[in-house]
Amino acid sequence: MKPSQRKGRSVNGVLLLDKPEGSSSNAVLQQVRRLYGAAKAGHTGSLDPLATGMLPICFGEATKFSQYLLNADKRYRVIAKLGEKTTTGDSEGEVIKQCHPVLVSDEQIEQVVRRFIGPIEQVPPMYSALKHQGQPLYKLARKGIDIERRARTITIYSLDWCRVDIDHIEMTVHCSKGTYIRSLVEDIGEVLGCFAHVKVLRRLQVGSFAGDMLSLEQLREVSESDGVDTLDQYLLPVDVTLCAYSCIVLDEKTAAVFYQGQGVNWVTSIDIPLGLVQVWSGRGEQKEKFIGVGEWVSGGRLLPRRLIRHDET
């Protein structure tokens, strides 16, 4: 009989990791989970192996709310290489088409960039994790199989650029969920009259999270010098995944009913938009314990949608 394996530590919270270049998001996730000795962890939106930057890692109870970060807006810094089209849309792929880019004026670039501001239709790349009949598209792409993809509506909130040289353009992109920067760069290259692919990509922001990231090297140094438990100091609380949502604070009695999975009636003088909300227990408007996510519906009714375990917070 095999000895039982350790399930890992009960770790809860969110780590803002600075993903290194050259590794997949899942590979980095597994390294972080092992460093923490955590029983459960997940990331909130893949970055390409070439990309670096903000990769929020959710531990334990925070994984229940990772979807809210997946749906958050993102901000990137990207350097596009002009004059070359690759199989993957970035510099990791093989160059399949080339042309000599023509130096254009600032006014011309500005006119092109403006065409991509606001809601636009974007066709996802073949080298993506989207699935076709259960198979990730990138696996089919590696076999030389091309699948027709439907265009999806995404939103580019801002697109600021600075000219680097005749072969490169550097841009900062603020966009909605589901945006593929590789596709955006390829589309911009086409409008400029040349090919283009992503040479450098760094995610700067996910939702309200910006800056204050930690690298794998920093985490390893702390773990080796001070012990694995000291890594917990870098975790943000579970509720930060929901910072974009309004809060409702329930008294102890009402919170107990809600926590049992039952809807409750609640009267508040605060104007709270209908929809998903953070739910806390506390006194008055003073938050004491995070309970989970509820749905605030018409008639002053609060319905439970996703609850956390009290003994894990």
Q: How far is CA 64 from CA 48, 201, 242, 294, in A?
A: 24, 28, 11, 13
Catalytic residue set: 48
**Nearest of 286, 237, 278 to residue 258 by alpha carbon:** 278
* Cβ atoms of 87 and 127 closer than 8 Å: yes
The rounded distance, in Å, linking the Cα atoms of 307 and 257 is 12
3-state class of 82 per DSSP?
strand
* Cβ atoms of 127 and 140 closer than 8 Å: no
Calculate the dihedral angle through the C-alpha atoms of 218, 45, 82, 154, rounding to the nearest 10 degrees.
-150
The rounded distance, in Å, linking the Cα atoms of 195 and 201 is 17
Q: Phi and psi of 74, rounded to 5°?
A: -130, 155
- One-letter amino acid for residue 60 of the chain: G
Beta-strand relationship, 247-250 and 168-175: unpaired
* Cβ atoms of 77 and 171 closer than 8 Å: yes
Contacts of 94 (CB under 8 A, 6+ apart): 86, 87
Give strand pairing partners of 300: none
**Which residue is it, tokens 């993506």?**
128
* Cβ atoms of 19 and 43 closer than 8 Å: no
Helix (H) or strand (E) holding 247: strand 247-250
